[in-house]
């Protein structure tokens, strides 16, 4: 058995940061790309030489839709129906998240679509058992 020191959990640090309103990812020391959510290695080049980094929380909403089925997890039942979408973070990664400030109606989604890519800002959405990342679109 190899005698290697235990590595801190990137996922644990992510959720602990998120509960404080800090949005963490990793940056690769080799290629310079960001990975979000944080993992043990770079999603671009596979390098293990990565470091935690706080992200700006700034993003561009690329696509949005609403859930038409029951919430995907009981923690989201209180906010259903909700809008979720794909966003490109300022640092580069594309993520999926709940979108705040938009009604889950066809009319609201159409209006959002007609605006084109929309700036958004990350927020911590607190559920009963876990804080999750969500984004609020700019007005």
Number of domains in the chain: 2
Residues 128 and 78 in one domain: yes
The pLDDT, as a whole number, for residue 128 is 85
Question: How confident is the model over 41-98, as pLDDT tens digits?
Answer: 999 999 999 999 999 999 999 999 987 666 777 888 888 888 999 999 999 999 999 9
In a domain, residue 1? The reply is no
Task: Name the 3-class secondary structure at 53.
Answer: strand
How far apart are alpha carbons 61 and 16 in whole angstroms?
Answer: 25
**Residue numbers of the domain that contains 114:** 58-137
Residues 72 and 117 in one domain: yes
Query: What pLDDT, on a 0 to 100 scale, did the predictor assign at position 68?
Result: 66
CATH of residue 49's domain is 2.20.28
pLDDT of residue 12: 83
Tell me whether residue 4 is in a domain. Answer: no
| Residue 132: C-alpha distances to residues 53, 110, 113, 128 (Å) | 18, 26, 24, 11
| 34 in the same domain as 67 | no
Q: Can you give the pTM of this predicted structure?
A: 0.87
């Amino acid at each position: 058995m190899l005698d290697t020191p235990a590595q801190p959990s990137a996922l644990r640090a992510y959720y602990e940061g998120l509960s404080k309103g800090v949005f963490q990812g990793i940056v690769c020391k080799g290629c310079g790309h960001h990975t979000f959510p944080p993992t043990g290695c770079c999603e671009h080049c596979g390098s293990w030489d990565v470091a935690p980094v706080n992200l700006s929380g700034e993003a561009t909403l690329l696509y949005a839709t609403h859930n038409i089925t029951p919430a995907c997890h009981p923690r989201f039942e209180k906010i259903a129906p909700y809008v979720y979408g794909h966003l490109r973070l300022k640092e580069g990664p594309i993520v999926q998240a709940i979108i705040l400030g938009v009604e889950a109606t066809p009319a609201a989604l159409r209006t959002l679509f007609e605006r084109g890519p929309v700036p958004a800002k990350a927020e911590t959405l607190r559920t009963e058992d876990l804080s999750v990342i969500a984004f609020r679109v700019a007005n």
